[in-house]
């Protein structure tokens, strides 16, 4: 695999693939152009917008994509809306995001797997890996490659349900796996946006952590459960009682998962996630020991001291 992906060489197969591309957008004017251009192999590109206030729709239309608008409720709902209402020409749909790009290798692999008319494959959907790009580099180890997601689905055989921040697939058929990845620019909108967003996530996590700490879950019992979901949940609950959460997370990403092999970008990515975990721990401390009330009481006392 080529470690530094390039979008410059556009020698995609000339013959059309049996795949329609659906791109969900909201205020993506900086990403949508390159995203659509990376679909040059596809003759049926649809953009499903959730009411962008910038030039997303205009740019998409000018590049030959068909633009649809539906109010956003959740990722699962929006993707299902696309499956039901967007008139895709081909039997297979690829759900690309605006900050993602196709690579030639992935297009080639899809061609081989699906065949010219899309009947070669027996699967209902495919898990596709993605390469997270950070500071111009692919962060393979710290970024948890391959981080599979179901993106390529056969029309009528697969739907989505909401799960966490995103969605999960729901299908009765089998799910295949692609070896080659698409490229994911998680940080295309800049790190300020990442930090602001993770500040909010850590509020939510912190509130949840505080509840867990108060509720006194039977964590030790849950850790020995047979259900892996319960065990994973219990591990997470346990983590709210740990000290040095940020440092532990950094060590996990950088050493255990091998973030050091990604070089500088791997270090910084691990440290950023560590910082985020540190915020969670601090927010729990803030709520549990009422920082604000204590500060206000002190200020009031100092302002009432007589002038000297």
Partner 1 sequence: MSEPKIDIMIPTLNEADHIGECVRNALKLGPVYVLDSFSKDGTQQIARDAGATVIEHEFVNYSAQKNWGIANLPFEGDWIFILDADERLTPSLVKEVRERLARPDAANGYFVNRVLLFMGREIRHGGLYPSWNLRLFRRGKAMYEDRSVHEHMVCEDPVDYLKREMLHIRRETLSQFIDKHVRYADMESNEWVKLKLGVSNVAKPKALFRNILGVRQWLRREIWPRMPVRPLWRFMHMFVLRLGFLDGRPGWHMARLMMSYEYMISLLYRDKLVRATQADYSTDVFHERRNHYPWRAQQPPAKPDQSPDSNAVNTQG
- Hey, is 32 helix, strand or coil? helix
Interface with partner 1 (CB under 8 A), residue total: 52
Q: Tokens 């997303």 identify what position?
A: 56
Residues 41-100 that bind partner 1 (CB under 8 A): none
Asked if 145 is part of the footprint of partner 1 (rule: CB under 8 A), the reply reads no
Of residues 192 and 229, the one with the C-beta less far from partner 1 = 192
Of residues 173 and 190, the one with the C-beta less far from partner 1 = 190
Of residues 224 and 289, the one with the C-beta less far from partner 1 = 289
Asked if 25 is part of the footprint of partner 1 (rule: CB under 8 A), the reply reads no
Q: Tokens 């560590």 identify what position?
A: 274
| β-pair type (100-101, 182-184) | antiparallel
Asked if 30 is part of the footprint of partner 1 (rule: CB under 8 A), the reply reads yes
Task: Kindly report whether the peptide bond that precedes residue 278 is cis, defined as omega within 30 degrees of 0.
Answer: no
Asked if 221 is part of the footprint of partner 1 (rule: CB under 8 A), the reply reads no
Asked if 187 is part of the footprint of partner 1 (rule: CB under 8 A), the reply reads yes
Binding pattern for the stretch 261-300 against partner 1, x by CB under 8 A and - elsewhere? -------x--xx--x--xx--xx-xx--x-xxxxxxxxx-
Q: Phi and psi (nearest 5°) for 34?
A: -60, -35
Of residues 30 and 217, the one with the C-beta less far from partner 1 = 30
The answer to whether residues 111 and 126 touch, using CB atoms and an 8 Å cutoff, is no
Q: In what order do the strands lie in the sheet with 149-154?
A: 66-69, 45-49, 19-25, 92-97, 149-154, 125-128, 175-177
Using the 8-state DSSP alphabet, how is residue 63 labeled? T
Give the separation between CA 163 and CA 239, rounded to whole angstroms: 21
Give the separation between CA 270 and CA 276, rounded to whole angstroms: 10
The stretch near partner 1 (CB under 8 A) out of 85-93, 107-115, 132-140, 170-178 is 132-140
Q: Which residues bind partner 1 (CB under 8 A)?
A: 4-7, 30-31, 33-34, 37, 101, 133, 135-136, 183, 185, 187-188, 190-192, 195-196, 199-200, 202-203, 268, 271-272, 275, 278-279, 282-283, 285-286, 289, 291-299, 302-303, 305-308
């Amino acid at each position: 695999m080529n470690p530094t992906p390039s979008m410059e060489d556009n020698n995609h197969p000339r013959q059309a693939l049996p795949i329609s591309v659906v791109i969900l957008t909201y205020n993506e004017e900086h990403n949508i152009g390159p995203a659509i251009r990376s679909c040059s192999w596809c003759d049926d590109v649809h953009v499903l917008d959730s009411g962008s206030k910038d030039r997303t729709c205009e740019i998409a239309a000018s590049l030959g994509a068909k633009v649809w608008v539906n109010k956003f409720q959740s990722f699962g709902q929006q993707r299902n809306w696309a499956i039901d209402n967007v008139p895709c020409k081909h039997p297979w749909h690829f759900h690309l995001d605006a900050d993602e790009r196709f690579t030639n290798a992935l297009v080639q692999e899809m061609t081989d797997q699906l065949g010219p008319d899309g009947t070669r494959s027996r699967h209902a959907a495919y898990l596709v890996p993605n390469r997270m790009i950070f500071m111009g580099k692919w962060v393979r180890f710290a970024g948890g490659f391959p981080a599979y997601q179901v993106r390529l689905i056969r029309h009528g055989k697969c739907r989505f349900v909401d799960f966490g921040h995103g969605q999960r697939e729901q299908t009765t058929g089998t799910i295949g796996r692609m070896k080659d990845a698409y490229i994911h620019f998680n940080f295309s909108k800049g790190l300020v946006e990442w930090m602001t967003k993770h500040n909010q996530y850590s509020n939510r996590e912190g509130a949840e952590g505080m509840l867990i700490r108060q509720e006194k879950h039977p964590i030790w019992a849950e850790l020995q459960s047979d259900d892996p979901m319960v065990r994973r949940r219990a591990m997470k609950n346990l983590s709210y009682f740990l000290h040095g959460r940020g440092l532990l997370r950094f060590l996990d990403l950088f050493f255990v998962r091998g973030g050091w092999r990604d070089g500088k970008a791997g270090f910084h990515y691990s440290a950023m996630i560590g910082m985020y975990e540190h915020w969670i721990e601090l927010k729990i401390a803030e709520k549990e020991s009422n920082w604000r009330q204590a500060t206000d009481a002190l200020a009031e006392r100092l302002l009432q001291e007589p002038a000297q």
